[in-house]
Amino acid sequence: MKPLEAMEELAGGLATIVLVVTQLAVASISLFGFIYWLYTAYVLGSWLMLVAALFPGTMPFSVLIGAWSMFFGVPEFVLILFG
């Protein structure tokens, strides 16, 4: 095996590892964001938040806002809209 081929194979393997780790991180944050959104809906007693989390058209927004809320706190507009 030539050195250049070995480096290309190593780079391809490292790129695959980075891609898999990134996908797992995004999937984990998305799952926990969704769960946190549902938890926030429970705490606020908001059925509308629960519907927004389960409706396919608004689920991506619920996941993103839930993930944001997990790290930085629930945004004020969520408390105004659903609280």
For residue 36, how far is the Cα from the chain centroid?
10
Q: Which residue has the higher pLDDT, 3 or 64?
A: 64
Q: How far apart are CA 21 and CA 71, in angstroms?
A: 20
1-53 residue pLDDT tens: 777 777 788 788 888 999 999 999 999 999 999 999 999 999 999 999 999 99
Cβ burial of 39 (10 Å; 0-12, 13-18, 19+) is middle
pLDDT at 7: 78
Handedness of CA 67, 22, 55, 42 (dihedral sign): negative
